[in-house]
Structure 1
């Protein structure tokens, strides 16, 4: 799996289902997703909202 792609996919799908469920379907532990997200530096909608 490519971490950056997983992070982007989870970010898009998180609008319609919980992150825990998405990770379960992808076979990626939630903690791994959050680590990849942090390492990728991808800014999410939530991150953008917090920096305003």
Structure 2
């Protein structure tokens, strides 16, 4: 999922360079959402991984 967030961030940067600002805002929004979902899932997996080992 982090790979998808990075991909959309790269799309946003490239679109911003060429002046497609509508695509930039959409790609940045998608990248932010995917990054926060990845972050939440990462934290949850860390917590459940430690609980399972005990």
Higher fraction of helix = 2
Global fold match (TM > 0.5): no
Which of the pair has more CA radius of gyration? 2
- The normalised TM-score by structure 2 is 0.36
TM normalised by structure 1 equals: 0.37
